[in-house]
Amino acid sequence: MNTLLSAQQLEQGVDDLAACIRRDYASRPLTVVGILTGSIVLLADLIRRIDLPLRVGLVQASSYRGGATRPGELRINDDLLPDVSGRDVLLVDDIFDTGHTMVALVEQVKRHGAASVRTAVLLRKQGRQEVDYTPDYIAFDIPDEFVVGYGLDYRDLYRNLPYLAALEADELDQSTPREQGV
């Protein structure tokens, strides 16, 4: 495992993200919606830096991934989503990879009647996007490697690492497809 971003670099990135969000929303009330499970660490750090009237909600996205690293069929559970009708919503996720998760969730939140929907991600993986959409707030662009830590998992492990690390090819087992939260 190689460290890609230290805890200190992550902290700086989240500071910058929060500053942009505070500036753009000025004193407007905001509903921040974290995408389970990968966003939990970012969500906790980000909301404490945003000094606005703020609600927090969650949605769950999971995809059936071949060997856990390739994207598959997406399922969304919005039972935990608060009432967003007429509200300004900021969707938060750990990483923008192919982009399908974020695009599907933007549409879902719009269907629930949000007044506006913007998106914030900690990471964007270079050269992987399959959608015509760019998140509004991006802390870091990273190379096309499988990364873990700061909320991101490999087979549900490593979310608790305080830094971001890239897994080596021989640490990734591509064999058994399974369902996992993203």
Contact yes or no for 182/101 (Cβ under 8 A): yes
72 lies in the binding site for ligand IMP (CB under 6 A): no
Specify the residue, 29 or 162, whose C-beta has the smaller distance to ligand IMP: 162
182 lies in the binding site for Mg ion (CB under 5 A): yes
> Using CA atoms, how far apart are residues 120 and 100, in angstroms rounded to an integer?
15
Q: Is position 79 annotated as part of the catalytic site?
A: no
> Using CA atoms, how far apart are residues 157 and 159, in angstroms rounded to an integer?
6
Q: Which of residues 88-107 bind ligand IMP (CB under 6 A)?
A: 93-101
Q: Which of residues 9-48 bind Mg ion (CB under 5 A)?
A: 38
Catalytic pick among 45, 93, 94, 97 = 97
Say how many C-beta atoms besides its own lie within 10 A of residue 86's C-beta.
9
Identify residue 165 by its one-letter amino acid code. A
CB of 154 to ligand IMP, least distance (A): 6
Among 32, 92, 105, 182, binds ligand IMP (CB under 6 A): 182
Q: Which of residues 15-44 bind ligand IMP (CB under 6 A)?
A: 38
Specify the residue, 21 or 35, whose C-beta has the smaller distance to Mg ion: 35
> Using CA atoms, how far apart are residues 122 and 73, in angstroms rounded to an integer?
23
Specify the residue, 72 or 82, whose C-beta has the smaller distance to Mg ion: 72
User: Within a 13 Å sphere around the CA of 22, how many CA atoms are in the beta-carbon half?
Assistant: 13
Phi, psi angles (nearest 5°) of residue 48: -75, -10
Helices (H), the chain: 7-25, 40-47, 100-111
* Catalytic annotation, residues: 97
Residues at the interface with ligand IMP (CB under 6 A): 38, 71, 93-101, 146-148, 152-153, 182
Residues interacting with Mg ion, by CB under 5 A? 38, 153, 182
